[in-house]
Amino acid sequence: MKKTWQSPVIQKMNGGLMNKFGTRTEYEPVKHIDGVSVQSLIKEYGSPLFVLSERTLRRNYRDAYRAFSTRYPSVQFAWSYKTNYLNAVCRVFHQEGSWAEVVSGFEYQKALGNGVPGPQIIFNGPEKTNEELELAVRNGSLIHIDHFDELFQLLAITDRIPEKPRVAIRVNMDTGVYPVWDRFGFNYENGQAWDALKRIVTSGKMTLTGLHCHIGTFMLSTNAYRQAVKKLADLAWRCKTELNTPLQYLDLGGGFPSTNTLRGSFLPGTDAVPSVDEFAEAITAQLTELGYGTQDTPKLILESGRVLVDDAGYLLSTVVATKRLSDGRRATILDAGVNLLFTSFWYDHTISPAQDFTHHTEDMALFGPLCMNIDVLRQSSNLPLLNRGDQVVIHKTGAYNMTQWMQFIHMRPNVVMIDEEGNTHLIREAETLEYLQQPEKIPAHLQQPEKK
Amino acid sequence: MRMKYLLKNEQVHFITHTVLNSYAMLFFSNRSGFALLVMLVSFFNPYTGLAGLMATLVAAVTAYFMGFSREQVKSGLYTYSALLLGLGMGTFYEFSGGFWLLLTLASILALLLSAALIARLGKSNLPALSLAFILSLWVVILSAREFGAIGLTARNIYWLNEMYATGGNELIRLVQWTEEWPMPAAVSGFFRSVSAILFQSNIAAGMLLSIALFLFSRMALSLMIGGYAVAILFIRLMDGYAGSVNYYNLGTNFMLVSVALGGFYIIPSVRSYLWSLITVPISYILVIALWKITYTWGLPVFSLPFCITVIVFIYVLQLRQAGGKMVLTPVQYYSPEENLYRYLNNRDRVYSQYYFRLALPFMGEWTVSQGYDGKITHKGDWSKALDFVITDTEGKTWGGTGTRPEDFYCYTKPVLSPADAVVEEIQNWVDDNPVGGNNTAQNWGNTIVLKHAEGLYTKLSHLKKGSIKVNKGDYVKKGSLLAYCGNSGRSPEPHLHFQVQATPYIDSRTLPYPLAFFLTRDQSGAVSFNSFRVPSENERVSNLQTDPLLLQAFDFKPGFRMKVKSDRLEEEWEVMVSVYNETYFWCREKNSYAYFVNDGQVFFFTQYFGNTKSLLYTFYLSAYKLVLSSTPGIQITDHYSRDIKGNIFFRWVQDLVAPFYLLSRLQFRSICIPGGEEEAPGSLLFRTSAIRCLSGKEKNIQSAQILVQGGKIRLFRVQTAHQQTEIVCEY
C-alpha cells in the first residue's frame, strides 16, 4: 500500500516503553457487517447509511427470551416502538413472538399496520386522545393508565361505547436508585396507585388486567428490579385478596442497558452494565420467592427496546475533511452528525475505520457535517489518522436514533437491513426535497417572487 | 287396555325391551329394528314363532318379578335361552294344554339356569351362551315322553299349510318363488342354515335374516359366510358323513362360532378371522363326537359344540401371560363394528390417558442432549433416561468462552417438579465440577428422587451443590422449584439428567415412561404438540402453556347447564358424572350422551351415544380434541373412531375389510388462533376440521370454529359441503 502523506505534527509523548515498531494500536478495521462489505454498502446506498443486522436482532431477542423463559413459566416481550419503529424492525420482533408497546396514536396505528392483533398492543404514555383511546378500547388493547385525569377520561368513554376497556395502571416507586422516576404513573409509596386500582375495580366499567412499572432507563442495578417486583407483587396480592381481582400480568417495563458506554462513565459499557441474564435472574428469583410461577402465574411482560436493538444498528459514514484545531488537536469531520446520531449526546459511541490504516493513532475530535456548534460526535477519540474519503463504522446505533433523528440541515439517509442470508434490503429510502416539501403550503401572496 | 291396568307403563316398557333384545341377542345384537325382523321371521312358522314369543314373555315377566338386575334382564341376556327353548318346543311338539304348561315351566327353568350360569361363568369372565337353552330343552325332551298330554308334531312336514294360514297366498308365493329360484346348492344351503338358527329350513327366511344381518353388521354376515364356507370345505376335505351336517349344525354351531370368536367376544382382526379356520372344524368334530354320546338318550346336541368351543377358547385366551395380539372385547357394544371401531378409538386415544402425567422438569425451551439408549452414558440398566441442556440459535450450549460452568446457559436454571410428589431422597453435598471434570465416585452428583405413586419415581441429577430447596418428605406440587441445574457428578458440562424409575433409590434402574404433553420446535421454528411420548435426542422441547381463559371456558363442572341454539334447533345440555367418575354431556331433548375428559391441559371427547342429528353431536365432532393453550402454531391431529360422514355404501365396504385394513381414516385437526377482525377483541378461536384421508388424498368434509370469549364458549360455527350453521351457547 502506498503510504499516504501526513503533515508533520509535534505530539506530546505518552508513557509506555519504546520499542522498535513504534506505538501500536489494538484497533481492527471493520470492513464487513454480517459478511457484507462496508465499501459496497456505501457504494450502493450512499453515505451516510444506517445498517441493521436482522441476525443480531433475532439473536438478541432469542437470548433475552431464553434468559426469562427458562426462569419463569409465562413470559411475553412487547416491542417498544419508540426505540425503533421502522416497520421492518418491528416485524422482525413480531415474527419472533413480540407484542407491541406503543406510546402514541400514530405508533398504535403502526402496530396495527404491522399486523399486531389489538389485544397484543400495550398502549402506554401520558397523553392519549379520546379518539385514540376509543380505538384502543374497541380493539381490546391493553391501556396503561398514567394519571387520574386519564382514568376519568376513560371512564367518560365507557359511557359512550359498549366495549369494556382492558386496563392496567403504571406505578412509580422508590426502588433505591437516583433519580426516582415519579413523573409517570401513580405513586406506590403515597398510596396513589392503590387509590387508582380501587377506583378502577369499583367503577365496574373496566377490566383490570395487570400492573405496569418502568423504573428507569439504562438501569445499571439489578437490585432496583427486585424492589420493583416486590412492590408490584404487593399491589397484585392486594388486588387479588382485597379487590377480588386476580391480575393477568405484571409488566416490568424495560430499561435494560445496551453495552454502549455512557458519557463520563469510567468503565466501558461492556464491563459496566449487567447482562439481560442478570436482570432476568433478579426479576424471576424475586417472583419465585414471592410464590409466583407455580400455581399463580401472572404473565411477566417486558418492554425491552434498547437492549434488543442497539448493537444491531450501525451508522456508516465518510470522512469529509480533517483539520487541526487551534489548540493542536486533530479534528475529523464526518458526513454524519448529531442530526442522525442523537444518542451521541449521551454515549461515547465506538467508531471503527472501515479500511486498513497506519499504526499511528491520535486523540481527535469527531464532528458532524452540520453548520452548528453542537454537532460533535466525540469530543475525543483515539483513532488512526483518517483521510478524506475514508469510511468509518459507528457501532451500537440501533436504539432511538432512527426515531429521534432530525431533519435539520441535512436530510435523513437510506436505512438498509441485512437479512440472515446476507442479502441487503432497503427498508427506508433517503429523503428527498420533494418529500420534505410535500406538506408545505405557500400562501397565494407569496406565490410570486416579487412583492406586488 | 287391560294390560295397562294390569301392568304399569314402566313394566310394559321393560318387558317389551326384554323380549325384543332376546330376539336380537340370538345374533349377538341389541338393535330393536333388527329384533323385530328376527321376530317376524320366527313367525314364518307361526306355531314355532308363537311358542318362542310366549316362552320369552314368561321368562321376561318372571325375571321382572324375581328382581334380577333390571339393566341385565332388559338386555335380553337372561331370556334369550327361553326364546330358543320356545322355538325348539314349538318345532317339536303339538300344541295342547299340556304343551303350554310344560312350556311355561321349561321357560322358567331356562331363565333360572341362565341366571345361575351367567353368575357362575361370569366370575371367570366367560359367557353362558345357550347352555341354559340346551339343558332345559334336554330336560323337556327327556321328560315329555312320560306325559300323555304332550305329543310330537308332524306340522313341519306340511309347513306350506301353515304358511298359508299366516300369510295367505302372497307369502306362499314368495316362499315358493325363493325355493324355486335357481341358485347353487351352496348358496341355498347358506340361507337355510341361517334360518335354522330359528329352527327353520327356509330360503326366504334365511334371505330375510341375511339382509337384516347385513344392515345390522357387515362383519357378522361376512363371518357367518366364512364359517359356512370353512365347514363345507372341511366336510369335503374329510369326506365326512354328510348326515351330521344338517342345516341346524351349520347355522348354530359353525356359523355362530365364527361370529362369536371372529368378531364378538374378540375384537375383529386378521388373526380372529383366521382362527375361525381352526375353531369351526373343531366344533365340527365336537358335533360328531357329542352326538355319538347324546343320541344314546335320543337327544340332539343342539348348540353344545358351539358353547364348548367358544367358552374354552375365551377361557384359554385369558390364560395368556402377555396381552397378545388377539384382544378380548373389553366393553361389549353388541356389534362387531362398534367393538372394533371403539376399541381402536380407545386404544389410540383413551388408554394413554391412564399414564401418570409427567411434565418437563424445567421452564422454557431445552434440548435433549442424550435420549433413551444414548451413546454416552444411557446404557444397560440406566438406558431409559434423558439429558437436557439449553442451546442457542446456533445450537451452542454456552456463551462467552465456555470454560466456566457459568458460561453454560442451563447452569443455575430452575429445576421443577414434573408432577405432584413427595420428596423421597436427596443428595446435596457433591461439589460442582469445572468444565470437563468428571466425578465418577459420586456419579449422580446432587440428586433428588421424587415419589409420585407406588412404584413410580422420578430422579433429577447433576444439580448445583447446595441448591436443593426441598427436604426429604416434603410434599411438592407440579412445577414447584426444587433446585438449580448444576454440574455435579459424572457431568463434564452442566446438564440436567431426568429419569423415571420404579424403585426409590438414587442408583435405581430406569423405567421407560412417556411425558404427558410437551411442545417441540424444529429448525424452521414450527411448533408442534406432542402427547404421551418420550422426547428423542436433539429435540428442542418445552412445556405446554395453558391459557387461563380457555381453562375457564372448558371447565365443565357436574351440574353445569348450557343452552344451545341454532336457527332450527334448541337444546339444553347438562354435565353429569357416571359412577366411574366419567364426565359427560347429556342432551335432554335428544337423550344423547357425549363423554369427555378435561385433564387441565387438553379437552377431548371419548365416546358419543345417541342421536346423530343433535347439536351435541355437532359439538362432539367439532370440539373432538382441543389443547387449552393459545400458544401460536399448536396444531393437533387426532382420528375419529370411524368415518362417520362417508357415503353409506363406502362405509359398508369399509366395515367388511376393517379387520384387515382401514380404507379411509377421518382425521381431526384443531388449531387455536386469536380471534380475527370480525370477532370481539381478546377472543380466541379454535379452527377445527374433519379430513378424510383416502388413498393418500385428503378431503375436508367439515370445518368448524369455536369462539371463546371472556372465559366462555360463545358460539360455534360448522360448515359442511351442504350447509353452514351457527350455534350460539348461553350459560
pLDDT digits (tens, 9 = 90+) for A308-348: 999 999 999 999 999 999 888 899 999 999 999 999 999 99
B481 touches chain A (CB under 8 A): yes
Q: Do B502 and B576 belong to one domain?
A: no
Q: Do B171 and B112 belong to one domain?
A: yes
Residue A349 and residue A378: Cα distance in Å, rounded? Answer: 8
Q: Do B27 and B53 belong to one domain?
A: yes
CB atoms within 10 A of CB A421: 9
CATH number for the domain spanning B376: value is 2.70.70.10
On whether residue B206 sits in a domain, the answer given is no
The residue among B478, B512, B542 that closes a domain is: B542
Q: Closest Cα of chain A to B364: distance in Å?
A: 4
Q: Which of B366, B410, B479 sits opposite A73 (nearest CB)?
A: B479
User: In the prediction, which pLDDT does B432 show?
Assistant: 94
Cα separations in angstroms, B306 against A230, B86, B260: 78, 19, 9
B681 and A66 within 8 Å at the Cβ level: the answer is no
User: In the prediction, which pLDDT does B428 show?
Assistant: 93
CATH number for the domain spanning B132: value is 1.10.3430.10
CA B448 to chain CA mean position, Å: 40
Residue whose C-alpha cell is 479500511: A355
Which residues of chain B lie closer than 8 angstroms to A70, CB-CB? 362-366, 390, 409-410, 413-414
* B residues 387..406 contacting A (CB < 8 A): 390, 392-393, 399
First to last CA, chain A: 64
Across A6-141, where does the E strand assignment appear? Answer: 32-33, 36-37, 49-53, 75-80, 99-102, 121-123
User: H or E segment at B625?
Assistant: strand B625-627
Residue whose C-alpha cell is 416579487: A450
On whether residue B698 sits in a domain, the answer given is yes
pLDDT digits (tens, 9 = 90+) for B374-420: 998 999 999 999 999 999 988 899 988 889 999 999 999 999 999 99
User: In the prediction, which pLDDT does B326 show?
Assistant: 86
Residue A257 and residue A220: Cα distance in Å, rounded? Answer: 7
Tell which CATH classification among 2.60.120.10, 3.40.50.620, 2.40.37.10, 3.40.30.10 matches the domain A32-51+311-432. Answer: 2.40.37.10
Residue B63 and residue B69: Cα distance in Å, rounded? Answer: 9
Residue B267 and residue B260: Cα distance in Å, rounded? Answer: 10
Q: Closest Cα of chain A to B658: distance in Å?
A: 45
Q: Do B138 and B56 belong to one domain?
A: yes
A288 and B414 within 8 Å at the Cβ level: the answer is yes
pLDDT digits (tens, 9 = 90+) for A263-313: 888 788 888 899 999 999 999 999 998 988 877 789 999 999 999 999 999
Q: Which is more confident, A140 or B3?
A: A140
- Output the DSSP codes for B326-352: S-B-SS--SSHHHHHHHHHHIIIIIGG
CA B620 to chain CA mean position, Å: 17
pLDDT digits (tens, 9 = 90+) for B604-630: 998 888 888 899 999 999 999 999 988
Across B431-513, where does the E strand assignment appear? Answer: 446-453, 456-463, 475-476, 481-484, 496-501
Q: Do B509 and B564 belong to one domain?
A: no
Q: Is residue B500 within 8 Å of residue B537, measured between CB atoms?
A: no
CA B528 to chain CA mean position, Å: 28
Q: Do B569 and B584 belong to one domain?
A: yes
Contacts for B273 with CB less than 8 Å, ≥ 6 apart? B223, B226, B262, B659, B660
B199: left (phi over 0), alpha (psi -120 to 50) or beta: left
Interface of A with B (CB under 8 A): 58-59, 62-63, 66, 68-75, 97, 117-120, 138-141, 163, 166, 248, 281, 284, 288, 293-295
One-letter amino acid for residue B62 of the chain: T
Q: Do B28 and B159 belong to one domain?
A: yes
Which residues of chain A lie closer than 8 angstroms to B397, CB-CB? none
Residue A278 and residue A293: Cα distance in Å, rounded? Answer: 19
Q: Do B614 and B501 belong to one domain?
A: no
B393 and A58 within 8 Å at the Cβ level: the answer is yes
Burial label for A65, CB within 10 Å (0-12, 13-18, 19+), is buried
- The backbone torsions φ and ψ at residue A124, rounded to the nearest 5 degrees and listed phi first, read -105, 180
Contacts for B659 with CB less than 8 Å, ≥ 6 apart? B219, B263, B268, B269, B270, B272, B273, B340
Burial label for B171, CB within 10 Å (0-12, 13-18, 19+), is middle
Residues facing B485 on adjacent strands = B463
pLDDT digits (tens, 9 = 90+) for A187-216: 999 999 999 999 999 999 999 999 999 998
User: In the prediction, which pLDDT does B2 show?
Assistant: 46
**The three grid cell numbers given for residue B402, joined into one nine-digit string:** 465456555
Three-point CA angle B714, B715, B721, nearest 5°:
165
Which residues of chain B lie closer than 8 angstroms to A97, CB-CB? 632
Q: Which of A69, A138, A141 sits opposite B364 (nearest CB)?
A: A69
Burial label for B406, CB within 10 Å (0-12, 13-18, 19+), is middle
Mean pLDDT of chain B: 88
Which residues of chain B lie closer than 8 angstroms to A166, CB-CB? 682
B563 touches chain A (CB under 8 A): no
Burial label for A198, CB within 10 Å (0-12, 13-18, 19+), is middle
Q: Is residue A141 within 8 Å of residue A121, measured between CB atoms?
A: yes
CB pairs under 8 A between A and B: 72
A406: left (phi over 0), alpha (psi -120 to 50) or beta: beta
**The three grid cell numbers given for residue B353, joined into one nine-digit string:** 390417558
First to last CA, chain B: 45
Cα separations in angstroms, B538 against B366, B390, B597: 10, 11, 32
> Is the per-residue pLDDT at B162 higher than 80?
no
CATH 3.20.20.10, chain A: domain bounds: 124-304
Average pLDDT over residues B84-106: 90
The complex scores an ipTM of 0.83
Q: Do B36 and B124 belong to one domain?
A: yes
Residue B308 and residue B315: Cα distance in Å, rounded? Answer: 10
Residue B251 and residue B228: Cα distance in Å, rounded? Answer: 8
Residue A248 and residue A212: Cα distance in Å, rounded? Answer: 11
On whether residue B207 sits in a domain, the answer given is no
Residues facing A144 on adjacent strands = A168
Which residues of chain B lie closer than 8 angstroms to A68, CB-CB? 364
User: In the prediction, which pLDDT does A302 show?
Assistant: 97
Comparing C-alpha atoms, which of B388, B416, B413 is closest to residue B495? B388
Contacts for B379 with CB less than 8 Å, ≥ 6 apart? B373
How many domains is chain B built from?
A: 4
pLDDT digits (tens, 9 = 90+) for B646-687: 678 888 888 888 888 888 788 899 998 876 555 666 678 899
Residue of A nearest to B399 (CA): A63
Q: Do B570 and B715 belong to one domain?
A: yes
Residues facing A77 on adjacent strands = A302
Q: Do B116 and B79 belong to one domain?
A: yes
Q: Is residue B589 within 8 Å of residue B575, measured between CB atoms?
A: no
User: In the prediction, which pLDDT does B1 show?
Assistant: 43
Average pLDDT over residues B163-175: 60
Q: Closest Cα of chain B to A69: distance in Å?
A: 5
Q: Give the residue numbers spanning the domain of B71.
A: 1-183
| Helix, strand, or coil (residue B246) | coil
Residue of B nearest to A249 (CA): B548
Q: Do B507 and B589 belong to one domain?
A: no
Residue A354 and residue B483: Cα distance in Å, rounded? Answer: 49
Residue A334 and residue A318: Cα distance in Å, rounded? Answer: 6
From the DSSP assignment, how many helices (H) and strands (E) are in chain B?
20, 24
> Is the per-residue pLDDT at B561 higher than 90?
yes
Q: Which is more confident, B636 or A301?
A: A301
> Is the per-residue pLDDT at B119 higher than 70?
yes
Q: Which regions of chain A are under pLDDT 70?
A: 1, 6, 11-26, 452
CATH 2.40.37.10, chain A: domain bounds: 32-51+311-432
The highest-level CATH class for domain A124-304 is: alpha beta
Q: Is the peptide bond before A268 cis (omega within 30 degrees of 0)?
A: no
User: H or E segment at B271?
Assistant: helix B270-294
On whether residue B347 sits in a domain, the answer given is no
The residue among B183, B205, B239 that closes a domain is: B183
B392 and A63 within 8 Å at the Cβ level: the answer is yes
Strand-pair category, B602-609 with A166-172: unpaired
